[in-house]
Amino acid sequence: MKKMMLMALAAGTMMFSCGQSEEKTDMSNPFFEAYNTPFEVPPFETIQNMHFAPALREGIKEQQAEIDAIVNNTEEPTFTNTIEALEFSGALLAKVSTVFGNLNSANTNDELQAIAREMAPELSQHADNITLNEKLFERIKSVYENQEKFGLNAEQKQLLEKAYKRFVRNGANLNDSDKEKLREINSKLSVLSLQFGQNVLAETNAFKLIVDNEADLAGLPQELRDAAAADAKAAGDEGKWLFTLQNPSIMPFLQYAENRELRKQIWNAYQMRGNQGTDKDNKAALIEMANLRREKAQLLGYETHADYVLEESMAKTAANVYKLLNQLWAPALAKAKEERAEMQAMIVAEGSDFQLEPWDWRFYEEKLRKQKFDLDEQEVKPYFSLEKVQEGVFMVTNRLFGLTFHEIADIPTYHPEAKAYEVKEADGKHLGVLYMDFHPRASKRGGAWMTSYRPQQMDNGVRKAPVISIVCNFSKPTGNAPALLTFDEVTTFFHEFGHALHGLLSNVQYRSMAGTSVPRDFVELPSQIMENWATEPSVMKSYAKHYQTGETIPDALIAKLTNSGTFGQGFATTEYLAASLLDLDYHTQKSAINMNADDFETESMQKIGLIDEIIPRYRSTYFQHIFSGGYSSGYYSYIWSGVLDTDAFQAFKETELFNQEKATAFRKEILERGGTDEPMNMYVNFRGAEPKIDALLRKRGLDQVKVERTK
């Protein structure tokens, strides 16, 4: 699954603050000086763990002083002395928190995690000190109610609107007693969310499947065996094979391992993360979070947490989200049942009498793919070396937007595996810096995401270029071969690069509205539309080159990929929709959840009729998107944006893949504009009409599915 993650501590969470100013300011701390580095990127090589807490607290102190200056200004509130002054406050805090939050996700350690737990309540308190400041809100409200006299342009009006709403939505209108309740809830949520993610990482890293009998490797491709042998050697088990819960290890194991008992063992470890009754168990914490979110929403005047969140989305209401998901659920589940029947028939045909189980699904799906389309994923991977796929991503971006990418050798990086590139416009003008970090490690959480170390903004009329990063967990190179990607990893690369373009091409005045600072159900449009180019045959032939021979991927193999394009979409769409509906069920509760998380999940899935052979893409106890990643009531966003991206790509398919007029319009109306307008306005400005669902149904092969109707 493509996913993008905007770090909690790097974005929203970093608007907090609290005191502890008794710590002395250490001017040797690299955060207290201007960055003397290429393109002013963070000086990773001189930043040490001990620098973070003092710098965060100094940032809190500085921003509080800036807020006090706004509040104590005796002049009449204006857009400049109130709204812009607030927007520009907290520069040091943002500077530190972006680095801290990103490292805590991409290159963490026990000390960083301890600092995060220590600082979370203080940062939460600081956020509340700002949004619950009555005098500050009075000034914001004054500007908001008298905005016609300030001659604001469209972006300034949007900044004012967002600032006012932010304060109202964060409790500015509450009485003193309710404000204290809100502070307590926010503090608890900040700690619980952080701990949830740390528990998932710990549980993911803790499991190791050691294989010491080569016969148990039957069915596994050689490159996976080589990677497992290398991992075992690194862990001190030379001569054995080590498999983990990292996606590049577990997913191909489930896909190819003939040993059914070992498939069951690793699958159970994967789906029981955070649910084993240990100190890393997340069941109680996630129920507490769901209940606290509901309590907070009701304190602020909303019936449910989903009502609170979706007010600021394209969907607007939970009813609209349920309508879309249910519209897709029926054909997706019907398709999944067809797939189940085909796989069960294959099991019987092989002479076995067992029933298909969740740990069998990927194994028999792969066998069925080979039977139906003569397609083996291992036949495809040699054409998708990471280096060549990267060249393909760069080529598509260049042909669409004229951008070029130049690796920077002498620049600080946060890990030896992270590489940096200068991104330039077609005329050679500097656009931004892009870090890319591709492979799994124990210090990195799972998944794939884009983030920023510096969002774009204007500084005295001059564009301050962004520093963007994409972080993935792709298959590693082995001693015998470079990193060879699955086709899913190929599309993930294109996906995350779309997010990166959203950040890099941003051209707005204020950092709080730059790049990906848009509603959750719009942010996936720039990423998902890029996936469409990855799968186009003419584009694929430009980057899919055999890593040994240099041969271009044959037309026959492309045809197999194309013909199998909708294969497995019943499973993929069903497991995704199940997770989306589970998210909504947690967050549309109007009263406290009083049951165990397992029971809640079971009840939720029984309600929609999820078959036993499929579980939600993310079970509750490791559903990081919604319990530690900012997507609560918003996991549906990927499918909502799927409607947008498939409709938007038709603008190119109907003309030409690299239509410059369409590409320029997409850049100007969507990628450059960040959150400076309502998403639907931006989409219609690009496309000329609102999106339709038809293209998405066709793409997933769900338009011709027969749906069982029950009375």
**Averaged pLDDT in 10-residue chunks for the chain of 711 residues:** 33 30 63 96 97 98 98 98 98 98 96 97 97 98 97 97 97 97 97 97 97 98 94 96 96 97 98 98 98 98 98 95 94 96 97 97 96 91 97 98 97 97 98 98 95 96 97 92 95 98 98 96 96 96 97 96 92 97 98 98 98 98 96 95 94 96 98 97 96 85 63 31
Considering the domain architecture, whether residues 233 and 291 belong to the same structural domain is answered as no
User: Total structural domains in the chain?
Assistant: 2
Q: Cα(362)–Cα(355) distance, rounded to whole angstroms?
A: 14
Predicted local confidence at residue 703, as pLDDT: 75
The answer to whether residue 331 sits within a structural domain is no
Considering the domain architecture, whether residues 40 and 183 belong to the same structural domain is answered as yes
Predicted local confidence at residue 708, as pLDDT: 55
The answer to whether residue 496 sits within a structural domain is no
For residue 393, what are its two tokens? 């991503």
Considering the domain architecture, whether residues 134 and 76 belong to the same structural domain is answered as yes
Predicted local confidence at residue 24, as pLDDT: 45
The one-letter code for the residue type at 683 is Y
Q: Cα(18)–Cα(128) distance, rounded to whole angstroms?
A: 9
Predicted local confidence at residue 711, as pLDDT: 31
Given the structure tokens 């959750």, which residue do they identify? Answer: 520
Per-residue DSSP letter, 79: I
319: number of Cβ within 10 Å? 12
> Nearest Cα to 457, choosing from 71, 78, 98?
98
Considering the domain architecture, whether residues 97 and 57 belong to the same structural domain is answered as yes
The answer to whether residue 460 sits within a structural domain is no
C-beta separation of 524 from 511 below 8 A? no
The answer to whether residue 180 sits within a structural domain is yes
DSSP secondary structure letters along 365-418: HHHHHHHHH---HHHHGGGBBHHHHHHHHHHHHHHHH--EEEEESSS--SSTT-
Of 287, 310, 333, which residue is a domain's last? 310
Return the HEC string of 620-648.
Answer: HHHCHHHHCCCCCCCCCHHHHHHHHHHHH
481 bridge partner residues: 478
Considering the domain architecture, whether residues 195 and 213 belong to the same structural domain is answered as no
Which residue range forms the structural domain that includes residue 106? 12-201+279-310
Three-state secondary-structure class, residue 313: coil
The answer to whether residue 636 sits within a structural domain is no
Considering the domain architecture, whether residues 98 and 145 belong to the same structural domain is answered as yes
Predicted local confidence at residue 25, as pLDDT: 54
pTM of structure: 0.92
Considering the domain architecture, whether residues 231 and 110 belong to the same structural domain is answered as no
Chain centroid offset of residue 241 CA: 31
Considering 496, 524, 531, 613, which one is annotated as catalytic? Answer: 496
Three-state secondary-structure class, residue 484: strand
Is 669 known to be catalytic? no
Of 241, 271, 301, which residue is a domain's last? 271
Considering the domain architecture, whether residues 87 and 104 belong to the same structural domain is answered as yes
Predicted local confidence at residue 706, as pLDDT: 62
Q: Which residues touch 80 (CB under 8 Å, ≥6 apart)?
A: none
Kindly report the backbone phi and psi dihedral angles of residue 638, in degrees, each rounded to the nearest multiple of 5, phi listed first: -65, -40
Q: Cα(236)–Cα(111) distance, rounded to whole angstroms?
A: 25
Q: Cα(383)–Cα(544) distance, rounded to whole angstroms?
A: 5
Considering the domain architecture, whether residues 103 and 22 belong to the same structural domain is answered as yes
Considering the domain architecture, whether residues 25 and 54 belong to the same structural domain is answered as yes
The answer to whether residue 185 sits within a structural domain is yes
> What CATH number has the domain bearing residue 113?
1.10.1370.40
The answer to whether residue 685 sits within a structural domain is no
The one-letter code for the residue type at 371 is Q
